[in-house]
Amino acid sequence: MDALPFTPNLAVKPEVVPFLDQQTNTISYIVRDPASSACAVIDSVMDIDYAAGRITTEGADRIVRYIVEQGWTLEWIVESHVHADHLSGAPYIQQKLGGKLGIGENITVVQDTFGKIFNEGTEFQRDGSQFDRLFADGDSYTIGAMTAVVMNTPGHTPACTTHIIGDAAFIGDTLFMPDGGSARADFPGGDARTLFRSIKRVLALPGETRLFICHDYGPNGREIRWETTVAEERQHNIHVRDGVGEDEFVAMREARDEKLAMPRLIIPSLQVNMRAGQVPKDKDGSPVLKVPVNRL
């Protein structure tokens, strides 16, 4: 595996509070600096009843309420990527608690790709300006006294990033729990070979690094889980454990992706999330979602 361009500080052990959204099997996180009240929110969720066209805030309110009750200060709201299976609660949480909103710099690639698919007009900015910070590979930011390091891990989407904070890494959809394998790579802009190489970057972290995943579906009926380690993934992951080569992985991933249905909420999720969680508006200013036909 390639050497890491930095040395993780395993002595720093952030407090991690998970929030499970059962409708989308998404796990959001509050990450707190144990030496202060500073915290960040990673991969928040906004609820949607797609059939009724109704968006509500129960999941995001749980996070807001927890931070307020603890007396913590929200400094960052981070998206690990442009999610295709749930709407982001980032702008709602930011409105309530403040903080800066960040995502990987390749959001511009995603915006360009899906701006065409959804036939967005010239008023839709494709420069990532909807976000407060676009993270490049190797960038860092602080949460209180903690330093978070960003590692680009594309493949599932071009804008996927892993956020390494002390002994914890938040890996989005790049990897699942060991019995869940890896993320799909067949969305526009995805690539199985790129995903394999990104996974290897994650698995080059120290073995005791805690890995926090964005989704879990409880394979074979087990209870939902969201925390594993690099060592566990390298030993037991059903898709990319040690000894699985790149060509073998690519063949498996591409064959598997051909059989997968599109996520139930992909159409509203992409339109909203590439806008930093904002719902697009019609000419009269009313919130509206498009349904592209035969484009995905």
Close Cβ partners of 216 (under 8 Å, ≥ 6 residues apart): 25, 27, 176, 177, 180, 224, 225, 226
Distance CA(279)–CA(113), nearest Å, equals 18
Round the average pLDDT of the chain to a whole number and report it: 94
Partners of 39 in the beta sheet? 32, 74
Is residue 231 within 8 Å of 207, Cβ to Cβ?
A: yes
Distance CA(162)–CA(152), nearest Å, equals 6
pLDDT at 110 over 80: yes
Distance CA(121)–CA(118), nearest Å, equals 9
pLDDT > 90 in the chain, percent: 86
pLDDT value, residue 3: 53
Higher-pLDDT residue of 121 and 178 is 178
pLDDT at 260 over 60: yes
DSSP state of 215: B
Distance CA(245)–CA(57), nearest Å, equals 43
Structure tokens at 243: 């000894």
pLDDT value, residue 96: 98
Structure tokens at 163: 């956020």
Distance CA(214)–CA(19), nearest Å, equals 10
Distance CA(260)–CA(183), nearest Å, equals 11
Q: How many Cβ atoms from other residues are within 10 Å of residue 245's Cβ?
A: 10
3-state secondary structure of 288: coil
DSSP state of 180: T
Between the alpha carbon of residue 254 and those of residues 156, 233, 281, the distances in Å are 12, 21, 36
pLDDT digits (tens, 9 = 90+) for 28-63: 999 999 999 999 999 999 999 988 889 999 999 999
Shortest CA distance to 78 belongs to which of 121, 131, 23? 131
Is residue 135 within 8 Å of 105, Cβ to Cβ?
A: yes
Most confidently predicted of 93-102, 260-269, 270-279: 93-102
Distance CA(214)–CA(177), nearest Å, equals 10
pLDDT at 119 over 90: no
Q: Residue 124 half-sphere exposure, CB side, CA atoms within 13 Å?
A: 26
Distance CA(172)–CA(38), nearest Å, equals 22
Mean pLDDT, range 182-189, rounded to an integer: 94
Distance CA(85)–CA(267), nearest Å, equals 9
pLDDT value, residue 101: 98
pLDDT value, residue 2: 54
Query: What is the DSSP code string of 43-104?
Result: S--BEEETTTTEEE-HHHHHHHHHHHHHT-EEEEEE-SS--SSSB--HHHHHHHH--EEEEE
pLDDT value, residue 97: 98
pLDDT > 70 in the chain, percent: 98
Weakest mean pLDDT among 10-14, 85-89, 287-291: 287-291
State pTM to two decimals.
0.95
Weakest mean pLDDT among 152-161, 181-190, 244-253, 282-291: 282-291
pLDDT value, residue 123: 79
How would you class 49 by CB atoms within 10 Å of its CB: exposed for 0-12, middle for 13-18, buried for 19 or more?
exposed
Structure tokens at 113: 């790709």
pLDDT digits (tens, 9 = 90+) for 127-175: 999 999 999 999 999 999 999 999 999 999 999 999 999 999 999 999 9
Mean pLDDT, range 228-249, rounded to an integer: 98
